[in-house]
């Protein structure tokens, strides 16, 4: 399968963080805001899932969501995922299916962590699924501004520079 065939077959659209996506599941059940508490400004579905496809000529820019986010690897080249936690500690993980080579096929990014990703091989791509609970809402999605994230984490200015597009 070519990249173009997958994008067309799965009906993927550009994502604001970079890459392509399509929501594939949104549970009908609703969690009321009173149960969710202050981290959410309204009700949310129980959970949602998307396909997410990242290409090597692009990157997923630093962003954060309120929920823990599961990444499930399907096909393609390994993905390097960078995280900065609320204490400013940087970590990274390789998501892929070559388990004996230190890659992990399933990974959870904790809610509130800034994270960014790139494909580790040239001329290639990776297809994953990302699921969250409570369900995704762009109101809970924060795309980093380079100047603000650099100010918050000056020790990671190089990483922030590499993985942000918005000044």
Q: Write out the residues near ligand GUN by the rule CB under 6 A.
A: 21, 23, 48, 50, 69, 130, 132, 136
List phi, psi (to 5°) of 74: -110, -70
Q: How far is the CB of 100 from ligand GUN (least distance, A)?
A: 28
Q: How far is the CB of 72 from ligand GUN (least distance, A)?
A: 11
How crowded is the C-beta side of 50, counted as CA atoms within 13 Å? 20
Instruction: Give the whole-angstrom CA distance, residue 53 versus residue 20.
Output: 5
Q: How far is the CB of 115 from ligand GUN (least distance, A)?
A: 10
Return the residue nearest ligand GUN (CB atom): 136
Instruction: Give the whole-angstrom CA distance, residue 104 versus residue 148.
Output: 31
Tokens of 45: 């579905």
Where do the H-state alpha helices sit in the chain? 3-9, 33-36, 146-152, 157-162
Closer Cβ to ligand GUN, 63 or 156, answer by number: 63
Closer Cβ to ligand GUN, 73 or 136, answer by number: 136
Helix (H, G, I), strand (E, B) or coil at 162: helix
The torsion angle over the Cα atoms of residues 113, 64, 23 and 2, rounded to 10 degrees, is -80
Q: How far is the CB of 44 from ligand GUN (least distance, A)?
A: 12
Closer Cβ to ligand GUN, 8 or 23, answer by number: 23
Sign, Cα dihedral of 8, 60, 108, 105: positive
Closer Cβ to ligand GUN, 13 or 157, answer by number: 13
Closer Cβ to ligand GUN, 129 or 152, answer by number: 129
Tokens of 108: 């959870």
Q: How far is the CB of 140 from ligand GUN (least distance, A)?
A: 9
């Amino acid at each position: 399968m070519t990249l173009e065939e997958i994008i067309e077959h799965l009906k993927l659209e550009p994502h604001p963080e970079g890459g392509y996506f399509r929501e594939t599941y949104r549970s009908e059940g609703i969690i009321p805001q009173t149960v969710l508490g202050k981290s959410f400004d309204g009700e949310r579905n129980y959970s949602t899932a998307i396909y997410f496809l990242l290409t090597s000529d692009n990157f997923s820019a630093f962003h954060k969501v309120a929920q823990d986010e599961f990444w499930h690897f399907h096909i393609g080249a390994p993905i390097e995922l960078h995280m900065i936690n609320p204490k400013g500690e940087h970590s990274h993980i390789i998501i892929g299916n070559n388990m004996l080579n230190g890659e992990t096929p399933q990974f959870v990014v904790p809610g509130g962590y800034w994270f960014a990703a790139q494909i580790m091989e040239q001329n290639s791509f990776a297809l994953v699924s990302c699921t969250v609970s409570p369900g995704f809402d762009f109101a809970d999605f924060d795309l980093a501004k380079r100047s603000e994230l650099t100010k918050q984490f000056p020790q990671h200015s190089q990483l922030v520079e590499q993985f942000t597009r918005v000044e």
